[in-house]
Chains A and B, each alone.
Chain A
Amino acid sequence: MASVSVCQYRPGGFSFENCKRNALLEADINKLGFSSPAARKTGTTICGVVYKDGVVLGADTRATEGMVVADKNCSKIHYISPNIYCCGAGTAADTEMTTQIISSNLELHSLSTGRLPRVTTANRMLKQMLFRYQGYIGAALVLGGVDCNGPHLYSIYPHGSTDKLPYVTMGSGSLAAMAVFEDRYRPNMEEEEAKRLVRDAIAAGIFNDLGSGSNIDLCVITKGNVDYLRPHDMANKKGVRTGSYRYKHGTTGVLTKAVTPLNLEVVEESVQTMDTS
Chain B
Amino acid sequence: MHFTVVFSGLSGVCDRLRQARVRTPAAGSFSNVVSVKMATVLQFPASVSTFNNYNDLYPDWTQREVSTGTTIMAVEFEGGVVIGADSRTTTGAYIANRVTDKLTPIHERIFCCRSGSAADTQAIADAVTYQLGFHSIELDEAPLVQTAASLFREMCYRYREELMAGIIVAGWDPRRGGQVYTVPVGGMMTRQPVSVGGSGSSYIYGYVDSNYRAGMSKEECLKFTAEALTLAMERDGSSGGVVRLAVISEQGVERQVILGNQLPKFSTV
* Chain A residues within 8 Å of B, Cβ to Cβ: 1-2, 4, 6, 9-14, 16, 19-20, 22-23, 26, 41, 43, 64, 67, 124, 127-128, 130-136, 138, 140, 155, 157-163, 165, 171-172, 174-175, 210-211
State in angstroms the CA–CA spacing of A9 and B212 once bound together: 49
Cβ contact within 8 Å between B99 and A13: no
Cβ contact within 8 Å between B131 and A4: no
Closest to B100 in A: A163
Cβ contact within 8 Å between B16 and A14: yes
Cβ contact within 8 Å between B99 and A157: no
What residues of chain A lie closer than 8 Å to B207, measured between beta carbons?
A: none
What residues of chain A lie closer than 8 Å to B100, measured between beta carbons?
A: 163
Cβ contact within 8 Å between B30 and A13: no
Contact A128-B9, Cβ < 8 Å, known A2-B1, A157-B66: yes
What residues of chain B lie closer than 8 Å to A159, measured between beta carbons?
A: 31, 34, 65-66, 117-120
What residues of chain A lie closer than 8 Å to B99, measured between beta carbons?
A: 165
Cβ contact within 8 Å between B27 and A23: yes
Q: How many B residues are at the interface, by size bracket?
A: 35 or more
Cβ contact within 8 Å between A160 and B119: yes
Cβ contact within 8 Å between A19 and B29: yes
Cβ contact within 8 Å between A67 and B9: no
Determine the main DSSP class of A at the interface with B.
loop
| Residue in contact with B56 in the complex, picked from A11, A14, A20, A210, CB distance below 8 Å | A210
Closest to A22 in B: B29
Cβ contact within 8 Å between B30 and A138: yes
B212-269: which have CB < 8 Å to A?
A: none
State in angstroms the CA–CA spacing of A138 and B64 once bound together: 11
Q: Would you call B175 an interface residue if the criterion is a C-beta within 8 Å of the partner chain's C-beta atoms?
A: no
Cβ contact within 8 Å between B24 and A19: yes
State in angstroms the CA–CA spacing of A116 and B7 once bound together: 29
* Chain B residues within 8 Å of A, Cβ to Cβ: 1-4, 7-9, 11-17, 19-20, 23-25, 27, 29-32, 34, 56-59, 62, 65-66, 89, 91, 94, 96-97, 99-100, 117-120, 122-123, 126, 131, 151, 154, 158, 162
What residues of chain B lie closer than 8 Å to A132, measured between beta carbons?
A: 9, 12-13
What residues of chain B lie closer than 8 Å to A171, measured between beta carbons?
A: 62
State in angstroms the CA–CA spacing of A211 and B57 once bound together: 5
State in angstroms the CA–CA spacing of A39 and B81 once bound together: 50
State in angstroms the CA–CA spacing of A242 and B151 once bound together: 71
Contact A19-B16, Cβ < 8 Å, known A127-B122, A135-B34, A172-B57: no
What residues of chain A lie closer than 8 Å to B158, measured between beta carbons?
A: 6
What residues of chain A lie closer than 8 Å to B56, measured between beta carbons?
A: 210
Closest to A136 in B: B30
Contact A26-B27, Cβ < 8 Å, known A67-B57, A159-B117, A160-B119: yes
| Residue in contact with B119 in the complex, picked from A2, A6, A9, A157, CB distance below 8 Å | A157
Cβ contact within 8 Å between B15 and A172: no
A72 to chain B, nearest CB (A): 16
What residues of chain A lie closer than 8 Å to B151, measured between beta carbons?
A: 1
The 8 closest A-B pairs by CB, nearest first: A161-B118, A13-B16, A159-B119, A2-B3, A161-B119, A160-B119, A10-B12, A211-B57
Cβ contact within 8 Å between B97 and A211: no
Beyond the given pairs A135-B34, A159-B65, 13 more chain A to chain B contacts, judged by CB atoms under 8 angstroms and listed by A's residue number, are A1-B154, A2-B1, A6-B15, A14-B13, A14-B20, A22-B29, A43-B58, A133-B13, A140-B62, A159-B31, A159-B120, A160-B123, A162-B122
Cβ contact within 8 Å between B57 and A165: no
B66 to chain A, nearest CB (A): 5
What residues of chain A lie closer than 8 Å to B24, measured between beta carbons?
A: 16, 19
B13 to chain A, nearest CB (A): 4
Cβ contact within 8 Å between B66 and A172: no
| Residue in contact with B31 in the complex, picked from A2, A13, A138, A211, CB distance below 8 Å | A138
State in angstroms the CA–CA spacing of A4 and B13 once bound together: 14
Cβ contact within 8 Å between B8 and A10: yes
Contact A2-B58, Cβ < 8 Å, known A23-B27, A134-B17: no
What residues of chain A lie closer than 8 Å to B25, measured between beta carbons?
A: 19-20, 23
| Residue in contact with B23 in the complex, picked from A16, A124, A140, A162, CB distance below 8 Å | A16
Cβ contact within 8 Å between B13 and A12: yes
State in angstroms the CA–CA spacing of A133 and B162 once bound together: 12
Residue from the set B2, B56, B154 with the largest chain A CB neighbour count within 10 Å: B56
What residues of chain B lie closer than 8 Å to A6, measured between beta carbons?
A: 11, 14-15, 158
Closest to A94 in B: B30
Residue from the set B12, B16, B99, B126 with the largest chain A CB neighbour count within 10 Å: B16
State in angstroms the CA–CA spacing of A160 and B127 once bound together: 14
Residue pairs across A and B with Cβ atoms less than 8 A apart, 28 shown, are A4-B8, A11-B12, A13-B12, A13-B13, A14-B13, A14-B20, A19-B24, A19-B25, A20-B23, A20-B25, A22-B29, A23-B25, A43-B58, A124-B126, A132-B12, A134-B162, A135-B30, A157-B65, A157-B119, A159-B34, A159-B118, A159-B120, A160-B119, A161-B118, A163-B97, A171-B62, A172-B57, A174-B62
